[in-house]
Amino acid sequence: MVDLPEKKVGIISCSGEGCVEGTISRVATRLVLERLKPEETVTICLPLFLAGGGEERAFAKYYPTITVDGCEKLCAKVGTERYSGKPAGSIVVTDMTKSPRCSRPPSPRKLNSESLALAEKVAERIAQEVDRVLEHWR
């Protein structure tokens, strides 16, 4: 592996418009970037990454990545594996919903209090994964 000057982790999130879990995935990732681990993380734009974005793919090639997917289609995880390599961590939002499933807000874009709480929980989970990956990297 290339000797890199900074230890940073790339977070690759889906932002699936079709389901609330996609929005949760996106919000959780942003919470990590802005609040929980701002110095340790970088966001990778998934469509740009999949379409061949040079900077996104270069980063994912040399830095560890954590994928965050809303649903079982696993766009972020599959894409990362295809174009970069196995991600260091992988989170699927639907795996984290309690049973019974949290009630669905009227629209994928508007998170109700329950889904917002889930986004916070997912964000915490991502942050834990970041710590684990960085610890392993040292």
Partner 1 sequence: MSEYLQTVFDKFELRVRKGYCYTEDGLWISMEEGRIRVGVSDYVQRTGGDVAFVELLKPGSTVERQAEFGTLETAKTTVSLLSPMSGTVEEANGRLGEKPELVNSDPYGEGWLVTLAPRNLENDVKTLMSADGYFELMLKKLETEHRKLESR
Partner 2 sequence: MKAGKRKKVVVVPCSGIGKALGSVGREATYEVVENLRKGVTDTTCLALIVRGDEETLQLVKNNRCIAVDGCPLQCAAKNVELAGGDLAASFRVVDTLRENRKLKPKSVTFLDHDGQELANLLAEQVAQKVDELLKR
Tokens read off for 104: 């669905």
Using the rule CB under 8 A, which residue among 1, 3, 39, 135 binds partner 1?
39
Residue nearer to partner 2 on the CB measure, 30 or 132: 30
What torsion, rounded to 10 degrees, do the Cα atoms 136, 57, 47, 52 define?
-160
β-pair partners for 9: 41
Q: Does 108 bind partner 2 (CB under 8 A)?
A: yes
Q: Pick from partner 1, partner 2, none: which does 85 bind, CB < 5 to 8 A by kind?
A: none
Interacting span for partner 1 (CB under 8 A) from 3-11, 70-78, 87-95, 114-122:
3-11
Residue 39 has a CB neighbour count (10 Å cut-off) of 7
Q: Does 117 bind partner 2 (CB under 8 A)?
A: no
| Contact set for partner 1, span 48-77 (CB under 8 A) | 55-56, 58-59
Sheet holding 9-13, edge to edge: 41-44, 9-13, 65-69, 89-92
Write the interaction track for partner 2 spanning residues 64-103; mark x where CB under 8 A is met and - where it is not: ---------x-xx-xx------------------------
Q: Which of 91, 95, 116, 132 has the alpha carbon at shortest distance from 20?
A: 116
